[in-house]
Structure 1
């Protein structure tokens, strides 16, 4: 197997080093490109530091849109696509020159060149972000079966003519891997090519891998249309032939498992189709014979097997097939569950070495209604706590997918119900009314003692009349316009988390709770549309196999969730309800592991959350109602521009602009500290519109006292960070206005009282009148081309005058917001002296 990533990267690095050497010889300074190998789904931090930030703007450019601007001086480019913009952050202490770019939930589209430079164009650092594949090839290698051995920490990948063994570790690149060739036998290859294409059909496709013992694996390959089993010693990588009759066709589905038998240990069951003959097989203990065989098409017709499970004294096999109970001209596909018993060794004469306990029933996955929507073709199946979750697709009309859940009791209800029969050719199938005793199909310890009437009945009536109904009477998940191919459960957790792979190369992370399924993440790990044929989960990663590559995705990536609603729908995540700097809105969603390690939440038992005090420290799916469909919600943003506008000896008037309310009603909490150190909190309800500037008067204060005041916002989700504190003092008497010290702390000026206020107003009026006269005089002596310029100057000065009249103490942002509806006066035309005099008179009166 040719590892294309390795070869291409080696060539690229060699060419780049050669280019750098030539440019250096010519006297040019070259910034080396730093390769960064990462796993998709991780958060990637690209560091960039400069010695001094004074008068300097730091710029980040990225690979999308041919080197688009990503960020400048800590500000993300809002013109980028929304999905990309929401995943970018500039982090680090910018006052110290650190402008690191953080890419959250990195995707294949993020691959490429990243440049950090200063505004004049000097390059500081350059990175080449790469997501290397574990296995890749230019020609199809058909990576269609994978097995993860958690004890050995190895990933086994079945390919065409090859078994790849990959070490599972934290090393991203290069990974340790080895290949073992399983070439088709020469005589089988020559015979196969007489009737089939040499590639891919007449090759040895490894379609099944399972572990037999600590150092032994069982494999099965198609062997150029002559299926063959292999027993592999993992230690020395030697192998020998083994009897595992898998499918001969590389594109037929095959299932097998080791099932535990109390008397005989683990015994392998396998269901396959070989040269159009389909069967379920198992060795008969104590003999060289096998339980196998299908009596007629009533048992199976063109099946495609998708899964098998060991449940108590039975083995269940799931497959889809051409339905025999419908009009043959329609060629309908139905999904089935079949059952055989572990103690079954066949009949004495009839059904000798054949199943006497075989029964099958239809799986009914549908959306009910006047015209039901049926999902008839099962693609994959998983089991948890004796509940089977299958992914199904439609066979007619618009492509769609569904996940249906079937519990063991619903399967037993169908298998223990009536049988279905067709009394003669070209007649409808009907319910059987007469059944022999003992009931056919039951598990027994002595199948060879069954009467011929019972054996003949089960040979003729394997199909049950009732269908297996889904839990909740409908699918637990439906997806339109896409066909899901593979389904995997996240292991070792109490919650039910699925990973579903589609025929367009997408992977979905789904969380099922209380009858509802939530899509927590969507991954697009491939650059082109490819079918994902195999999917496996291990720890916090998912591995996917396509015909051209094997890749891995990091699927526990909580900080991608900016909103609490998204965060709590991922059971691996919790929303930290704190306001410290390290828990800002963009990184409050943390992994449960991180929350536990940092003691951010108390637990009762292993997983139950408990409230600390009166406010939850952490929100998860256990203490947040995720079933309610609400707008995106989060704690409110920090209020802006907290100012003291005026004060008396006993009161203090505060003004501020609210931040985003987080999708819920918010209140404001004013906190002030007296000179004695006591802290007072006052909750303030917003005015009718919490988008407007808010005004509140603190009362009951003491004259000539200094108060430290700060403010935060609060909603039902959480609390915003506090504003920076301001220092304000009350007056001896009368009214005072606020001013700013050089250090930015707000104080109130008492050194003039009302006299200072009046003097300040007079100065403002005189300044503006003088500006008006000067502009008017110049206006009368200018050409027509320059009049527009003076018109703008006059308008600007008048606007400033209006703002100062309105509120001299508000910052510019608030002034603009308050006066945005006011219309500035226009300068009267030349020659209208009376109008000019009237305007001047109005100004004097003001």
Structure 2
């Protein structure tokens, strides 16, 4: 306990002595608010998708590959426009089984953890509801699955597990992860690429002891892994976590018997990031790293333990120091409970890569006996490059090198904090001291505090930083030179990216990427000047939001504001120029009547008549949820002053006269009976007009009629007898 308190007190004294303090967002021009950062950046997020955990550049196809929860994306490098989405969800039976095993529903999805490019193909792995699965896909068509393989020893089961993976240039896949549901079997493995599958010794804490993997990179014939783990060499004194760098040969050929399918070239060494002194202060837990291959430097962020007062530092290690540590003596424990001692085996080839055709490697006994190097890897500067402000934890890191007017390859670092901020740091070339250049706020207030930065990478081709987070993907240009309105403000910023352009009279990057241009001015490198007058400049407008129009009325407007904070005027600098700091629009507008129109003319000039007038609901018209006008929009009244209308003089009346009778109809009687027949006439010759009399009499007449009887045919009386001649042949 006393040691812990002393360490914590030393940390506070150290941070206080270095004069580090938080950037005051209201007065420090180095602070970039979220609205201003977003105005010059590109962002991408898909509704319903979260945990954008891994990004990978595909320069051959000018695209960015992104792995997220249940999804893979292809985005354009500039603009982050969506090119393709491939849904990759765990099947229902897997998610049900995952929950039946006691996992939370939100963890029983497919979280993409591995995303590696190999030529025209992409190798990707996901947790797949605690049943890891990997697949090969086409780089320009992620929905086309070429092959599916097991994710065991390639991808963790849990989305919370820290793992890393690397596809080497020759197509060999290396992974550092866990291989079981409980996460109790950590492994560094090799698969694919035409060589046998290898792994670290199983359940052997001398190889790996509860590690949290941070990253991996390749250099020459080796692959290196960075992680933090429980220090087995300290176990006799208590429990502590150390940062490690491990190394294996790409072409390791495995051993025999006990080392069958195990590495024979596996070695690891401690990474020492500390403040020197009689009692050095150590930042023991590595959190993130970035490898600069041209310079052969490994940059890493380190923190104090989670249960300690928060503190962080950045250290850099060159490959020669790493190689020296791996070429030295080993740290060995003869038997459990024994102290760890320094050992230097004579003529040992342990850790040396096998040569083609050389058979089994020599020193296989040393391979099973020695894994830990005695000497720690020392940083290439005496002090850490950067020690964070009090109570701050640094996580991810990305670096770039910038050529300036006076120096080549000035180191610029971008580091993320556990609070979700990103800091831009510059390293002074001569002293290797670090200066805080900018503090970015990548998250909106709505998610600030809960959003987490999950991956951070810099791409020189676009001079941009790419940020993958729990909320989405962000591309942020590395510089914002244009925000400095004057020459003095530009030079006082001492940003390696920025200088004063005498031709454009503005703060710009090096013209045509030539920092030696005569019309481009930069001052000698130093930390930003915070005491000279700084002229104010307007920040970006906030998003439109509802605001009250009148207190208690319930009426609303849309308002947005901006502040004079980009930068804020300081030390006698000029205030922001003309222009409002608030804009109001779309206020609730209730309808109002216009004035009545003039009365219209009477509907007629004499007798009873009316006149009317109108008004409209347009003074103002109702808008943005306002009420409509109440009342009538039309009004009428009698024209009381009209004179009586004169009597009308019409034509004389004309009496009606009958037309001629029609013909009689047929008789209605049956044969030999009596019936009726009728005839008709009309009062239309002429018709009565102008009040004339109707025709007198009836329009129809009827009379009796009878029908003739039909004749009956009868025989007449007989005639007298007549004489006729007859013969014998005649017949009567």
Class of the TM-score when normalised by the shorter of the 2 chains = 0.5 to 0.7
Q: Which has the larger radius of gyration?
A: 2
Q: Does 1:444 align with 2:349?
A: no
- What corresponds to 1:107 in structure 2? 33
Give ranges in structure 2 of 5+ residues lacking alignment: 1-22, 404-408, 536-568, 573-732
Q: Secondary structure at the match of 2:350?
A: coil
C-alpha distance 327-347 of structure 1, shift in aligned 2 (>3 A): closer
Q: Is the 8 A contact 1:281 1:290 kept in 2?
A: yes
Q: Does 1:143 align with 2:52?
A: yes
Alignment of 1:27-106 (within 5 A): none
- What corresponds to 1:272 in structure 2? 177
Q: Is the 8 A contact 1:488 1:535 kept in 2?
A: yes
Q: Secondary structure at the match of 1:405?
A: strand
- What corresponds to 1:732 in structure 2? none
Q: Secondary structure at the match of 2:381?
A: helix
Work out the CA distance in 1 between the residues paired with 2:402 and 2:264: 37
Alignment of 1:7-46 (within 5 A): none
C-alpha distance 254-492 of structure 1, shift in aligned 2 (>3 A): farther
Q: Secondary structure at the match of 2:367?
A: helix
How far 1:131 moved relative to its partner?
7.9
Q: Is the 8 A contact 2:313 2:388 kept in 1?
A: yes
Q: Secondary structure at the match of 1:496?
A: strand
TM-score (norm 2): 0.61
Q: Does 1:572 align with 2:513?
A: no
How far 1:554 moved relative to its partner?
3.0
Work out the CA distance in 2 between the residues paired with 1:267 and 1:301: 25
Q: RMSD value over aligned CA atoms?
A: 3.5
Q: Is the 8 A contact 2:72 2:86 kept in 1?
A: yes
How far 1:335 moved relative to its partner?
0.5
- What corresponds to 1:682 in structure 2? none
How far 1:201 moved relative to its partner?
2.2
Q: Does 1:352 align with 2:260?
A: yes
How far 1:345 moved relative to its partner?
0.7
Q: Is the 8 A contact 1:403 1:477 kept in 2?
A: yes
- What corresponds to 1:189 in structure 2? 95
**Aligned length, in residue pairs:** 490
Work out the CA distance in 1 between the residues paired with 2:472 and 2:79: 20
Which deviations, in whole Å up to 9, do the C-alpha atoms of 1:497-535 show, x marking residues without a partner?
221111111111122242222222111021212321112
Q: Secondary structure at the match of 1:449?
A: coil
Equivalent in 334, 347, 369 of residue 423 of structure 1: 334
Alignment of 1:102-251 (within 5 A): 107-109=33-35, 133-135=43-45, 137=47, 141-170=50-79, 175-214=81-120, 216-236=121-141, 237-239=143-145, 240-244=147-151, 245-251=154-160
Work out the CA distance in 1 between the residues paired with 2:348 and 2:279: 40
Alignment of 1:809-828 (within 5 A): none
C-alpha distance 86-485 of structure 1, shift in aligned 2 (>3 A): closer
Equivalent in 380, 383, 396 of residue 486 of structure 1: 396
Greater helix percent: which structure? Answer: 1
Q: Is the 8 A contact 1:568 1:575 kept in 2?
A: no
Q: Which has the higher contact order (CA 8 A, sep 6+)?
A: 2
- What corresponds to 2:465 in structure 1? 542
TM-score (norm 1): 0.53
Q: Is the 8 A contact 1:544 1:551 kept in 2?
A: yes
Q: Is the 8 A contact 1:284 1:290 kept in 2?
A: yes
- What corresponds to 1:799 in structure 2? none
Q: Is the 8 A contact 2:246 2:269 kept in 1?
A: yes
Q: Does 1:408 align with 2:408?
A: no
C-alpha distance 492-246 of structure 1, shift in aligned 2 (>3 A): farther
Equivalent in 244, 265, 270 of residue 336 of structure 1: 244
C-alpha distance 565-201 of structure 1, shift in aligned 2 (>3 A): same
Work out the CA distance in 2 between the residues paired with 1:447 and 1:513: 48
Work out the CA distance in 2 between the residues paired with 1:424 and 1:394: 31
Q: Does 1:625 align with 2:524?
A: yes
C-alpha distance 425-506 of structure 1, shift in aligned 2 (>3 A): same
C-alpha distance 632-619 of structure 1, shift in aligned 2 (>3 A): farther
How far 1:369 moved relative to its partner?
2.1
Give ranges in structure 1 of 5+ residues lacking alignment: 1-80, 88-103, 113-128, 598-605, 637-661, 665-690, 692-846
Q: Is the 8 A contact 2:394 2:417 kept in 1?
A: yes
Work out the CA distance in 1 between the residues paired with 2:37 and 2:411: 32
Equivalent in 412, 417, 420 of residue 502 of structure 1: 417
C-alpha distance 219-590 of structure 1, shift in aligned 2 (>3 A): same
- What corresponds to 2:16 in structure 1? none
Which deviations, in whole Å up to 9, do the C-alpha atoms of 1:753-810 show, x marking residues without a partner?
xxxxxxxxxxxxxxxxxxxxxxxxxxxxxxxxxxxxxxxxxxxxxxxxxxxxxxxxxx
Work out the CA distance in 2 between the residues paired with 1:280 and 1:467: 21
Work out the CA distance in 2 between the residues paired with 1:556 and 1:470: 28
